[in-house]
Amino acid sequence: MTLTPLEVEAIALSLRVAGWAVLVSLPLGIAVAWLLARHRFPGHSLLNGIVHLPLLLPPVVVGFVLLLLLGRQGPLGAWLDDWFGITLAFTWQGAAVAAAVVSFPLMVRAIRLSIEGTDRRLETAARTLGAPPLWVFATVSLPLMLPGVLTGVILAFARCLGEFGATITFVSNIPGETRTLPLALYTYTQVPGGLDGAFRLMVIAIVIAFAALLGSELLARMLKRRLEG
Amino acid sequence: MLSVSARLARGAFALDTAFAAETDGIVALFGASGAGKTTLVDAIAGLVRPASGRIALGERVLFDSEAGIDLRPERRRIGYVFQDGRLFPHLSVRRNLLYGRRFAPKERRHATLDRVVALLGLEALLQRRPGTLSGGERQRVALGRALMAQPELLLMDEPLAALDLPRKAQVMDHIERLRDETGVPIVYVSHAVDEVARLAGTIVVMAHGRVAAAGPAADIMARLDLDPLAGADAAGAVLDAVVERHDAAYGLSELAVPGGTLRVPRLRLDPGRRLRVRVRARDVALATAEPRETSVLNVFRGRVVEIGPRRGASVDVAVDIGTRLTARITARSADGLGLAPGAEVYALIKSVAVDPASLVQAAQADP
């Protein structure tokens, strides 16, 4: 089975969108997970609620909210355009933002669980050895929570690849710009004689999912070996 | 000199302690579980903040509520060996050891990796991961890791509690070597009287969040009134001894102690070696006439110094045989023998009652 240029385009776009979405949201995800797991502050529940909201809302609603906020006329969108010349509406970067927002709760949940599971007494031990808090975080906390971070990244990545509703609402379905794999598949199903193309994309989606799963299994095993010696 | 005064309350538990101890050798914080020992060392390390008080190591003030000083743990230069080791599971033994080195001031880096590894016998472990180490190995690595951070004081919180007996003895050997060869002062927390008797030069007895007694180990160990605080088996005496000769035929060693010769099961120590012997009060019997035909090899003549209060069926009797010895006998025997302060008695110690594992090289060589 050789891939057509259109399929290659959709796959490449999907991977680019998902990759950037995960990459950019990861530091924020770790920070928010840390905040939620380790600190009690006024607004803790509110932050927790906001982070989880995209998980509960229909993706189309999320997309619409993004359109209102980040569209060219939206308050944030206009500001980004004026000051940085960044346009998110109807661009692949916008698709990445939509994917990131929708997958964020999954990432935060996984990382938070692993933070809560790490032994804080090891951090205390590191402090008594003279290490300042940031160093302790980088050399003790972060390595110990890596398995959870990995899980979060895989979950988020998969969710990004599958993103449909928020994407099509926020950045529409533009070939070569925002037509990711799910959108391409949907498009095929809407035209006469497109079933063949839809079927091929389905197989590709399954292959990508399996590859991601396999890769994460291997990584997880490597991490485990590092932790347990 | 380590001086500590700290007050804090945690629910029903209140800590209110003050003591000062010379920091040559090992200072033992001794007391039953729940006496506040760990809270106190946590306060010294900066892991717990007292409501008020002052903690100073020599000239260096670590905490002073009035002056508003509260050094963060990483600035205190105090090593901490935890009961559970707390090695970093994702780092090799070698990298665990080196973890604190980069934060040590350069002029203080006297404990090099080679020295520490040799001191604690870690050569074969360097490439291993903590997950593959036995309990004793883990604690040795924890000692080395704390030492490599070049601390000015080492805190050890029941470092042997999780170990079985043979490993305990082995790690204790290493702690003694560490004390004698590095000169880093140590505060050693324990509720085990044998550990304290073997290691400590100074003992601080804690009970219910307070300091019940503090002083040189021999004086504290001989006190009759500390028993209920320190645990039922704590009563006993610590004797300074020198190995005199060995009796190969019977498998015995003769030790010179103040007041005579103590015969114990054969020791693997050369004559002339100094050591400490702990004689538990319940292993000492008393007689008012010199026993002639008895299986007991060790008979010392002495005088009753003090008779402690009666507890259940027994009383503790302090006897001066040239040094102080404590005997736990029944109140009935004490009355039957007509014991009173000043009375002449013979103290009998069964050789086999002296546990060779409790015998150790003395803290310092000849003064």
pLDDT digits (tens, 9 = 90+) for A14-65: 999 999 999 999 999 999 999 999 999 999 999 999 999 999 999 999 999 9
- Gap between the terminal Cα atoms of chain A: 43
Residue B359 has pLDDT above 70, yes or no: no
Per the confidence metrics, is the pTM higher than 0.80?
no
| Residue B112 CB neighbours (<10 A) | 11
Contact between chains at B47 and A144 (C-beta distance less than 8 A): no
Distance from CA of B112 to the nearest CA of A (A): 15
Is B75 contained in some domain? yes
Is B361 contained in some domain? no
| pLDDT for the residue A42 | 92
Short-list B33, B27, B18, B15, CA closest to B192: B33
Least CA distance to A143: which residue of chain B? B90
Residue B111 has pLDDT above 50, yes or no: yes
Closest CB from B47, B74, B76 relative to A131: B74
Residues B212 and B66 in one domain: yes
Give one word for B86, left, alpha or beta, with left for phi > 0 and alpha for psi -120 to 50. left
Using the 3D structure, point to which of B232, B259, B278 is the last residue of a domain: B232
Contacts of A129 in chain B (CB under 8 A): 74, 79, 99-100, 103, 145-146, 149
Residue B245 has pLDDT above 70, yes or no: yes
Residues B197 and B338 in one domain: no
With an 8 Å Cβ cutoff, is A149 touching chain B?
no
Structure-token pair, residue B218: 């021999």
pLDDT digits (tens, 9 = 90+) for A111-120: 999 999 889 9
Residue B315: phi, psi to the nearest 5? Answer: -130, 155
DSSP assignment, residue A140? I
Number of domains in chain B: 2
Residues B101 and B135 in one domain: yes
Kindly report the CATH number assigned to the domain that includes residue B253.
2.40.50.100
Is B358 contained in some domain? no
Using the 3D structure, point to which of B202, B232, B262 is the last residue of a domain: B232
Domain that holds residue B262: 237-352
What average pLDDT is seen over chain A? Answer: 91
Interface of A with B in 189-228 (CB under 8 A): 226-228
Contact between chains at B100 and A131 (C-beta distance less than 8 A): yes
Distance from CA of A64 to the nearest CA of B (A): 45
Residue B360: phi, psi to the nearest 5? Answer: -145, 160
- Beta-carbon-side half-sphere exposure of residue B347 (alpha carbons within 13 Å): 33
Residues B152 and B244 in one domain: no
Residues B70 and B156 in one domain: yes
Is B152 contained in some domain? yes
B7: pLDDT confidence band, cut at 50, 70 and 90? very high
Please report, for residues A10, A103, A181, B234, the alpha-carbon distance to residue A205 in angstroms, rounded to integers and kept in the order given: 11, 18, 8, 72
Contact between chains at A124 and B47 (C-beta distance less than 8 A): yes
Closest CB from B84, B131, B149 relative to A129: B149
Is B187 contained in some domain? yes
With an 8 Å Cβ cutoff, is B134 touching chain A?
no
Residues B224 and B276 in one domain: no
Residues B23 and B96 in one domain: yes
Structure-token pair, residue B146: 């704390």
Contacts of B73 in chain A (CB under 8 A): 124, 127-128
Residues B78 and B165 in one domain: yes
Residue B228 has pLDDT above 60, yes or no: no
pLDDT digits (tens, 9 = 90+) for A84-110: 888 888 899 999 999 999 999 999 999
Short-list B19, B16, B30, CA closest to B203: B30
With an 8 Å Cβ cutoff, is B86 touching chain A?
yes
Contacts of B45 in chain A (CB under 8 A): 128
Least confident of A17-31, A181-195, B105-119: B105-119
Kindly report the CATH number assigned to the domain that includes residue A192.
1.10.3720.10
With an 8 Å Cβ cutoff, is A140 touching chain B?
yes
What average pLDDT is seen over chain B? Answer: 85
Q: What CA dihedral angle connects B333, B334, B339 and B341, to 10 degrees?
A: 150
Residues B126 and B242 in one domain: no
Contact B152, B78 (CB under 8 A): yes
| pLDDT for the residue B33 | 82
> Taking residues A145-159, what's their average pLDDT?
91
How many contacts does A have with B, using Cβ atoms within 8 A? 70
**What whole-number distance in Å separates Cα of residue A209 and Cα of residue B214?**
68
| pLDDT for the residue B312 | 83
Contacts of B88 in chain A (CB under 8 A): 122, 125-126, 140
A194: pLDDT confidence band, cut at 50, 70 and 90? confident
Q: Where are the alpha helices (DSSP H) in A39-58?
A: 44-56
Is B365 contained in some domain? no
Contact B124, B140 (CB under 8 A): no
**What whole-number distance in Å separates Cα of residue B25 and Cα of residue B71?**
25
Strand order in B52-57's β-sheet?
B13-21, B2-10, B52-57, B60-64, B69-70
Residue B364 has pLDDT above 50, yes or no: no
**What whole-number distance in Å separates Cα of residue B359 and Cα of residue B274?**
10
Contact B217, B237 (CB under 8 A): no
Structure-token pair, residue A107: 């990432």
Domain that holds residue A71: 5-228
Please report, for residues B14, B214, B254, B342, the alpha-carbon distance to residue B320 in angstroms, rounded to integers and kept in the order given: 38, 22, 20, 10
Residues B94 and B144 in one domain: yes
| Residue A49 CB neighbours (<10 A) | 11
**What whole-number distance in Å separates Cα of residue B334 and Cα of residue B224?**
16
| pLDDT for the residue B356 | 59
Distance from CA of A212 to the nearest CA of B (A): 25
Residues B202 and B243 in one domain: no
B365: pLDDT confidence band, cut at 50, 70 and 90? very low
ipTM: 0.81
Distance from CA of B139 to the nearest CA of A (A): 13
pLDDT digits (tens, 9 = 90+) for B34-54: 888 999 999 999 999 999 999
| pLDDT for the residue B153 | 92
Burial B276-303 (b: 16+ CB within 10 A, else e): bbbbbbbbbbbeeeeeeeeebbbbbebe
| pLDDT for the residue B361 | 47
| pLDDT for the residue A83 | 85
A1: pLDDT confidence band, cut at 50, 70 and 90? low
Structure-token pair, residue A118: 């790490």
Instruction: Provide the residue type at A100 as one letter.
Output: A
With an 8 Å Cβ cutoff, is A66 touching chain B?
no
> Taking residues A119-124, what's their average pLDDT?
93
Contact A101, A55 (CB under 8 A): no
| pLDDT for the residue B226 | 64
Choose, out of A114, A124, A128, A222, the residue to mutate when testing the contact with B (most B CBs < 10 Å): A128
With an 8 Å Cβ cutoff, is B83 touching chain A?
no
Using the 3D structure, point to which of B200, B232, B264 is the last residue of a domain: B232
Residue B1 has pLDDT above 80, yes or no: yes
DSSP assignment, residue A137? I
Kindly report the CATH number assigned to the domain that includes residue B106.
3.40.50.300
3 state SS for chain B = CEEEEEEEEECCEEEEEEEEECCCCEEEEECCCCCCHHHHHHHHHCCCCCCEEEEEECCEEEEECCCCEECCHHHCCEEEECCCCCCCCCCCHHHHHHCCHHHCCHHHCCCCHHHHHHHHCCHHHCCCCHHHCCHHHHHHHHHHHHHHCCCCEEEEECCCCCCCHHHHHHHHHHHHHHHHHHCCCEEEEECCHHHHHHHCCEEEEEECCEEEEEEEHHHHHCCHHHHHHHCCCCCEEEEEEEEEEEECCCCEEEEEECCEEEEEECCCCCCCCEEEEEEEHHHEEEECCCCCCCCCCEEEEEEEEEECCCECCEEEEEEECCCEEEEEEEHHHHHHHCCCCCCEEEEEECHHHCCHHHCEECCCCCC
| B154 strand-pairing partners | B79, B186
Residues B167 and B206 in one domain: yes
pLDDT digits (tens, 9 = 90+) for B139-185: 999 999 999 999 999 999 999 888 887 788 888 888 888 888 888 89
Greater confidence (B209 vs A224) lies with B209
Residue B229 has pLDDT above 60, yes or no: no
Residue A229 has pLDDT above 70, yes or no: no
Number of domains in chain A: 1
| pLDDT for the residue B309 | 84
Is B265 contained in some domain? yes
| pLDDT for the residue B367 | 31
